[in-house]
Chain A
Amino acid sequence: MNNSTTANIGAIFSNEIRNRWKGVMIWVVSWAAMSAMLMLFFDTLAASKDQLEAVFSTLPPELFSAFATDLKTLGTIEGYINSQLLSLLMIAGPIWAAWFGSQLIAGEHSSGSISWLLVQPVSRFASYTAKVSAGIFWMFLANGLIMAATVIFTLLLTQVNDIPWNYFAGVTIGLSLYSTVFLLVGNLVGILHKQSSGILAGAGLMAFSFTANLISAIENTPEFFKYLSLYYYFNVEKLSNGQTLGGEILLLPAICLVLIVLGFQIFRSKDFS
């Protein structure tokens, strides 16, 4: 890579950061507010943990599993975050990430600005690298900020003093990788077809992953169902039980890599007229 390519990647990357920071901040602030609201109720819930367990134990366990809720850890801050915050974030986040990904290139195609960008003295490799890097950067930053806000609100609004740092670090990394998969799916399908298809593909993958996870929790379901869900590779229950994410999480960066390469192969020869 020569100096000019590096400079071009830098310029496009900076432009992506400038253009998208407002949207990302709205997303982060919304989830931080949600996190703050949830933390207000944690102490009350932790105090009545035993009664809740008694009520919840009458409900099917598959339901809890599907929403990343573990009755044994519900009274802990990790279990509480899993069941109240992450269960929602892992459904809404992928749709947002796929929308974000579809904006990177397909969004420029639908708005028309790609006709300008692609006739600048910049290789398609540089444009693609800069845009995808900026997208990944935002996924990690957005999830990092949401988790950082959750840590702060845990300290401010609950009686928890001992922050489970390993849990938060694991969630931040896992959630960022999980979102990045959807970002890249949105980007890839958007380039292949159009922006709205990118969003739909992301939403479809999320629905499929959620359903596969739900089915896999049902008794006597063939084991392979759990492998079809991204929840298996980013297992937040493991984290709340004091374990690490495990080797399964490595599949997410591998999927990301494949999606990045595939996206570039399509983009490099794609007609944009």
Chain B
Amino acid sequence: MIATHLHFGKSWSIFEYMSSTLLQAKDLTHLYSPGKGADKVSISVEPGEVVGFIGPNGAGKTTTISMLTGLLTPQSGSLEILGQPLQQKSDFTSIYSELGYLPSDSSYYKGISAEAMIDYAIELRNGDQKALRKQAHSFASRLDLDITKKISKLSLGNKRKVGIILSIFFNPKLIIMDEPTTGLDPLVQKETLEILNEMSNQGAGVLLSSHNLAEVDQICDRVIIIKAAQVIFSDKVSAIKKLAQKRIRFEFGASATMTQIEAVTNKIGKLTDGEVIVLENHGELLSNKASEVVSLLISEGISEFTVENPSLEKMFINYYKK
């Protein structure tokens, strides 16, 4: 339990809710057809945690998020947000004051400026309107957004920025974002992730659906992989990496002779790319034949020997190939 009593912009504190799960979804199901939609999806988000929700298009990410935000009624399963069981649409109204949601499609009222849109969002919330406006403007400045422009005149990336601001300006306890960095330039992507990181450090829980595995790798504590409507993996990012095998790459120098190459390939494996041998199943090789490998490296003209750490992207692709 955290002993300090950290205060945020609002009246709640980290001490107040650190012990309770922010989001607990069990076996949420909404199937449009077999394998299409979400089938018995279970997700949890703890305070201070950033959870990555990944999967290709059509895997069921948006369907799941729609159920989590009350926009779509689950056919079965249970959902609890901020300790409140949510069964009907009307149950959600009270949790919306603490839920920040960024839909995948950044569509707002085109005829008004981003500033008017923010003011409208502030109007719909209880609390210190001045402080909320200040907070929203501060995020706009960090994301480099000119809020005086009409929404219809904004680029896709800038519309996304409006959406990001609208989903976080009130310091929500739970943030659900569907592809937050789509259309953003790298600098703003970085700033967005930093903001989310800060908010999670302050105790907010974040569920982040993304295609950008580098960003999931960078920011998420835990990752949930969904495939054909079902969750196929849910664990810490470090755990998924442990499951993966490192790649060892042996590269022959230009002076290597065919005899040298054959000597190595006979012991280790076939050439995979020109004058390169890449081994995925290195476990046995490194543990049982380490001395053999080292002597080969010395004697047979291998110019480069690298051990590559697997990226989340590689892991993800491996999972999908299974």
Contacts and interface: CB of A to CB of B under 8 A. Distances in A.
Interface of A: 4, 7-8, 11-12, 15, 18-19, 22, 111-113, 115-116, 118-124, 268-269, 271-273
B62 interface: yes
A184 B108 CA distance: 24
Contact of A119 (B99, B105, B106): B99
Given A11-B120, A119-B101, A124 B89 contact: yes
Interface of chain B, helix or strand or loop or mixed? Answer: loop
B71 interface: yes
A8 B89 contact: no
B250 to A, nearest CB: 51
Given A19-B109, A19-B111, A119-B99, A268 B90 contact: yes
Interface in B53-106: 62-63, 66, 69-73, 88-90, 92-94, 96-97, 99, 101, 103, 105-106
Contacts of A122: 93, 96, 124
10 contacts: A19-B111, A112-B103, A112-B106, A115-B71, A116-B163, A116-B166, A119-B96, A122-B124, A124-B89, A124-B93
B109 A15 contact: yes
Contacts of A22: 111
Nearest to B108: A113
B259 interface: no
Given A112-B103, A271-B72, A271-B73, A120 B112 contact: no
B212 interface: no
Contacts of B62: 273
Given A119-B99, A121-B93, A112 B72 contact: no
A192 B163 CA distance: 27
B71 A120 contact: no
Contact of A121 (B94, B106, B108, B120): B94
A111 B111 contact: no
A-B pairs, top 3 by smallest CB distance, nearest first, are A112-B107, A273-B66, A121-B97
Contact of B125 (A111, A118, A121, A123): A121
Given A113-B107, A116-B107, A273-B63, A123 B93 contact: yes
A269 B74 CA distance: 12
Contact of A118 (B63, B70, B88, B110): B70
B123 interface: yes
A121 B124 contact: yes
Nearest to B105: A112
B71 A271 contact: yes
B79 to A, nearest CB: 14
B148 interface: no
B69 A119 contact: yes
Q: Which of B88, B106, B120 has the largest count of A CB atoms less than 10 A from its CB?
A: B120
